[in-house]
Structure 1
Amino acid sequence: MNLSVSNSPFDTEQATQLNQIIQNLTADQKVWLSGYLTAQQVTTGQEIEEPQQVAEYVLNSEAVNDRHITVLYGSETGNAQSLAEIFADRLVEHNYTVKLSAMDEFKPKELKKVEDIFVITATHGEGDPPDNALTFYEFIHSRKSPKLENVRFSVLALGDESYDQFCQTGKDFDSRLAELGGERLADRQDCDLDFDDPAEQWMNANIELINQSSGHQQVTSTETVQSAKEKRYSKSNPYQAEVLENINLNGRGSNKEVRHVELLLDNYGESFEPGDCVVVVPQNDPEIVSLLIETLGWDTQLEIPINDNGDPLPLENALQDHFEITKLTKPLLQKAAELFENTELIAQVEDESWIKQFIEGRDLIDLLTAFPPSDFQPETLHKLLRKLPPREYSIASSYKATPDEVHITVGAVRYETHERERAGVCSVQLAERVQPGDTIPIYLKKNPNFKFPFDETTPVIMIGPGTGVAPFRSYLQEREELGLTGNTWLFFGEQYFTTDFLYQTEWQAWLKDETLSKLDVAFSRDTDDKVYVQHRIAEHSELFYQWLTDGASLYVCGDEKNMAKDVHETIRYVLEQEGGMSETDAEAYLTQMKKDKRYQRDVY
């Protein structure tokens, strides 16, 4: 029997750690451990139970299970890990032996020993595996992977349907496990950003199938994915945080507006670490909502369903709080063609290149204007639109420094396209419609793949242009509270020194007291030739290489599309130039750094 929050006094993290330890112990080790723990007890007039009796319970508890189940997760920001923990707990309720593991902690040689394997994985960027899934992904797609004729499997894939390679990592695992001879249990489930309900269906389908095959009696569980998540603050159960400060960090005349937002966490009940996130549950701009209702020609107070089963809400509330209306995706256009009964749109969605071009920079209002529906009923709106996704922001403060507060750094997104002004849903809400004293719905989210060392022996290189600098402010605040100095190097970049040097006085103070040992900055618009952080890395290539060979951990946060790729290429160049490596060897070196958790990225 595995430990879980429902059958033990341990929380999810403790139960997971204990299960991983116990499942890797030999019988003799379990006997010794049980005796050791018993000897540590302070008895109150009762005899201490013999160690052998305790050990026999642990060992014999596994005998009731027919097959051993392995649940593996590949997680970039924690969603897949959270679902894997919920699924493992659910399986334990049904009296199965479960091994829960991140993919980078699962030994590939153990794959040939598994019986039932469940893969829960996100897809990162344009179809890439999460960093903690990379090693296992490469192994299972290599010639070294074993045949899996006696293995049953199922895959739960997380993704974002606005990306071309939607859920690609999950699709790859699903097809590869089948190629290796595995027997598929429930079909792969691909989940968009609103994943609770499809994940619930996938879990239930797999549990029913393994119960049928093993003869186990069905256990009625009252806990759903949503209710499990609601034990803590979540999207469906957010914490109403009071806004303490909302400050524009940019100087007068800047092209940008970056907000420093401080939120009160009074009696929140959970701590956080540098690298973790604040998740904000946003609202759509009331002006956009009004324009959309006018375009639709519907009554503002018309009651509409927001899903297949829930109670209806007034149209205005549904559009403001529940539906994504400012972004088009390929699946949305395909559904619109069916629901609008617009012959021109039906013809256009057959052309993949046209879809890709049309959705860029347009929203639902643009779609309705360009392709007016011939018969589109309010009660079908929820079949067209997906839920409004929450926004994640790296925490920019230290729990040790301000345990009752959490700070975030938010760049307001504004631009013009297709003859209309556009704005980021959450960033401009925070910039324009949220004042000190207001409350906003939030929750904290762990980021297990962006964790920092806290010692004075490990060099740390931080690369964070723009708002990407937020987690490094958190980290240095924490180091300051711990009294740690030295071996920290920050690269920061923005447009102009005079208006865009975010948190300038704090970096300078940390340089003075040696919490930060080296700072290099790049202000791209202050010189004729644009200079970015990757240029500063190249300028200091010899010292940068020396830090890497001395065991430095490397952290990159910020824009994925341009900055992160350029930085990666520059670091590879440094390895080639200073280390005499070939391009292939340099890439392999960086891949190994990722596997060793020495190269971590939080990019978006």
Structure 2
Amino acid sequence: MKNTLLASPLTADQQQRLSQLLAELDPGQTSWLVGYLAGFCAASGSTAQAFPATSASAQNGSELTILFGSQTGNAEGVAEQLAVRAAEKGVAANVVDLADYKPKQLKQAQFLALVTSTQGEGDPPDNALDFYEFLMGKKAPKLGQLRYSVLGLGDSSYQHFCQTGKDFDQRLTELGASSLAERVDCDVDYEDLAEQWIERVLEAVASEAGASQPVASASTAVGSAAASLYGRKNPFQATILTNQLLSGQGSDKEVRHIELSLEDSGLQYKPGDALAVCPENSPELVSQLLSALAFDSEAPVDINGEAGTLGEALARHREITLLTPPLIKQWAELAGQEELSALADNAGELRDWMEGRDLLDLVQCWPMPSLQPQQLVNLLRKLPPRLYSISSSQAAEEDEVHITVAAVRYQSHDRNREGVASTWLADRLKEGATVPVYIDPNKNFALPDNDEVPVIMIGPGTGVAPFRAFMQEREEREVTGDNWLIFGDRRFRSDFLYQSEWLKWRREGLLTRLDVAFSRDQDEKRYVQHCLREQGADVWAWLARGASLYVCGDAEHMAPDVHQALLDVVCEQAGKTADQAEDYLRQLNRDKRYQRDVY
């Protein structure tokens, strides 16, 4: 096929040199270059202009539509990566947030790549709810012309692993669409599988539609951290400046305020973003595991393609505190344990058995004498980073980033257990130590662009962290919009996180209103949802004048309880039915006025 020249303002020599450079870059370098150019344009006050793609695939109407459903930004990142790689291969591509995509456009689409995460009990992410309901409903069109592929992102420790991706895949097939490339379900260490999926999708599109030389990608959005050299594959070693106990005397929790230096990193973040921390496992647990297996810590193994030791792999590279159904099934097959195989085949019983257990329990309960060190490393999934909502504004703190960490400690099955990252940060890292980190942008949890818009912030416990960042940012911007915090925890005297700062902002007038709920300070437990119901008239009044609503914290109990309280407020104050109230909150979500960061 004859190549079609790209419409470009570059000279022929510049075009040739650019093409040569792109051919030499790996995917990570290409993504960095996209972010760097976006940052350069922003810094110079110019706006990056996208040039019309005139590749063969664009000319024959076979553009690849890339849709993403993303709660925290990972699915969006994969979608952007796919668009960049499409441009390199001369495939015209268009990236669209599912919240902005009109489902009826599917009837005109020829090639579709859909990247989606899954939330809670198999639910779609917030930005995919409307599209999901349309596609699953009676009005969904026949899609015999559509060639598609789905990439699901999830966590195999959850019961409904990648369920939204599975649902989309099944439904598209039911509507007559045919597979462009087989669906891929990714666990927390999704990068390699995502890259392989991207290659298969683009090979299929290029083969069927044709492609030319690299094209300009018009619609890839660049995250706030994209212009830095540091990211998920290359974290920055941040120095701990402050590691301070935040909980007061008498608290039965340990919450710490941690400040880290980002000096010379180039990392940029916005209020609502998260700091990804790449942790290390407990040395004690690693030692117990090696002893139970009768393995030498110095046994040589391959770790992600590089030579290392077994002790190093278990300490820094592999998940050993959490069991997943795929691991149990593989272990049963290798061990030849019929009883364990039967357990693995019963999802309910398996989930009950895994609850509160880790790899050491598996080794002790179901020993595998023939297991070799390299087999163990290959069986275990990568140790994923832990995400912490950033509790500072870069406008206020400049080269620092702050996080609020609750140390997780509990007893289960006659053993003391602890959270991987939280106790690593709390117990083993002192001021001056370094921590591998990168910024995980969250575009779905951001302050309004208009500084006059009021905000209602609901954040119990460490869920208050991003709202400290919100307040610092609004203080720096000298906003005129009102700010209302609804905070809850166990006890006023010991668990009022950042109390002095909230009271200071309240005195100065930046914090317009402060409501609190401390569950253990009275006989009857009181939570943030009780505040919402009690102040229902004022909540509705704020919403009626355009307030944006934010919820951060526990996804299992708090978020559903708060959502129900909001529904009750809308029904009571606005005289709406339950269905109308749900529609009202859904519209707030579409308008970016009801945003949640729940985990």
Taking structure 2 as the reference length, what is the TM-score of the superposition?
A: 0.89
**In the TM superposition, what whole-angstrom CA distance separates every residue of 1:318-348 from its partner, at most 9, and x where no partner exists?**
1000110011111111111012223332232
Change (3 A) 1:65 1:456: closer
- CA–CA separation in structure 2 for the residues paired with 1:306 and 1:230: 29
Asked whether 1:504 is paired with 2:496, we answer no
Asked whether 1:171 is paired with 2:169, we answer no
What does residue 28 of structure 1 align with?
Answer: none
In the TM superposition, residue 455 of structure 1 has moved relative to its aligned partner by 3.5
What does residue 539 of structure 1 align with?
Answer: 534
What does residue 398 of structure 2 align with?
Answer: 403
- CA–CA separation in structure 1 for the residues paired with 2:7 and 2:313: 42
Identity %: 48
Asked whether 1:394 is paired with 2:389, we answer yes
Q: Contact 1:73–1:103 (CA<8 Å) still a contact in 2?
A: yes
For 1:253, give the aligned amino acid.
G
In the TM superposition, residue 14 of structure 1 has moved relative to its aligned partner by 9.8
Which structure is higher in RCO with an 8 Å CA cutoff and minimum separation 6? Answer: 2
In the TM superposition, residue 312 of structure 1 has moved relative to its aligned partner by 3.3
- CA–CA separation in structure 1 for the residues paired with 2:211 and 2:481: 58
**In the TM superposition, what whole-angstrom CA distance separates every residue of 1:73-122 from its partner, at most 9, and x where no partner exists?**
11111111111111111111121221111111222232222111110111
For 1:465, give the aligned amino acid.
P
1:461 to 439, 456, 459: 456
- CA–CA separation in structure 2 for the residues paired with 1:230 and 1:513: 36
Q: How does 1:178-189 map to 2 (within 5 A)?
A: 178-189=173-184
- CA–CA separation in structure 1 for the residues paired with 2:498 and 2:34: 36
2:283 to 282, 286, 311: 286
Q: Contact 2:228–2:267 (CA<8 Å) still a contact in 1?
A: no
Asked whether 1:434 is paired with 2:425, we answer no
What does residue 439 of structure 2 align with?
Answer: 444
For 1:527, give the aligned amino acid.
Q
In the TM superposition, residue 457 of structure 1 has moved relative to its aligned partner by 2.9
In the TM superposition, residue 9 of structure 1 has moved relative to its aligned partner by 12
Change (3 A) 1:272 1:60: closer
Asked whether 1:591 is paired with 2:586, we answer yes
- CA–CA separation in structure 1 for the residues paired with 2:459 and 2:69: 25
Q: Contact 1:74–1:130 (CA<8 Å) still a contact in 2?
A: yes
What does residue 577 of structure 1 align with?
Answer: 572
Change (3 A) 1:9 1:166: closer
What does residue 102 of structure 2 align with?
Answer: 107
Q: Contact 1:341–1:375 (CA<8 Å) still a contact in 2?
A: no
For 1:475, give the aligned amino acid.
F
Change (3 A) 1:460 1:446: same
Q: How does 1:206-355 map to 2 (within 5 A)?
A: 206-216=201-211, 232-307=229-304, 310-355=305-350
For 2:573, give the aligned amino acid.
E
Q: Contact 2:57–2:92 (CA<8 Å) still a contact in 1?
A: no
2:545 to 538, 545, 550: 550
In the TM superposition, residue 212 of structure 1 has moved relative to its aligned partner by 2.4
Q: Contact 1:258–1:409 (CA<8 Å) still a contact in 2?
A: yes
**In the TM superposition, what whole-angstrom CA distance separates every residue of 1:43-82 from its partner, at most 9, and x where no partner exists?**
xxxxxxxxxxx99x84756676441111111111111111
What does residue 382 of structure 1 align with?
Answer: 377
In the TM superposition, residue 210 of structure 1 has moved relative to its aligned partner by 2.1
Q: Contact 1:12–1:85 (CA<8 Å) still a contact in 2?
A: no
**In the TM superposition, what whole-angstrom CA distance separates every residue of 1:499-523 from its partner, at most 9, and x where no partner exists?**
1110001001111111110000011
Superposed CA RMSD: 2.6
In the TM superposition, residue 477 of structure 1 has moved relative to its aligned partner by 0.4
Change (3 A) 1:171 1:241: same
Change (3 A) 1:492 1:330: same
In the TM superposition, residue 150 of structure 1 has moved relative to its aligned partner by 1.1
Change (3 A) 1:455 1:596: closer
SS of residue paired to 2:159: coil
Q: Contact 1:459–1:547 (CA<8 Å) still a contact in 2?
A: yes
**In the TM superposition, what whole-angstrom CA distance separates every residue of 1:423-465 from its partner, at most 9, and x where no partner exists?**
0000001110111111110001110110111444322110000
**Residue ranges of structure 2 left out of the alignment (5+ in a row):** 1-5, 9-17, 24-29, 40-45, 215-224
Change (3 A) 1:600 1:522: same
- CA–CA separation in structure 2 for the residues paired with 1:351 and 1:471: 40
In the TM superposition, residue 232 of structure 1 has moved relative to its aligned partner by 3.5
For 2:151, give the aligned amino acid.
L
What does residue 23 of structure 1 align with?
Answer: none
What does residue 521 of structure 2 align with?
Answer: 526
SS of residue paired to 2:157: coil
In the TM superposition, residue 383 of structure 1 has moved relative to its aligned partner by 3.1
In the TM superposition, residue 265 of structure 1 has moved relative to its aligned partner by 0.7
What does residue 153 of structure 1 align with?
Answer: 148
Q: Contact 1:278–1:395 (CA<8 Å) still a contact in 2?
A: yes
- CA–CA separation in structure 2 for the residues paired with 1:481 and 1:514: 14
**Residue ranges of structure 1 left out of the alignment (5+ in a row):** 18-36, 41-53, 220-227
SS of residue paired to 1:331: helix
In the TM superposition, residue 13 of structure 1 has moved relative to its aligned partner by 6.5
Q: How does 1:9-88 map to 2 (within 5 A)?
A: 12=34, 58=52, 65-66=59-60, 67-88=62-83
**In the TM superposition, what whole-angstrom CA distance separates every residue of 1:148-188 from its partner, at most 9, and x where no partner exists?**
11111111110000111100111111111111111111100
SS of residue paired to 2:396: coil
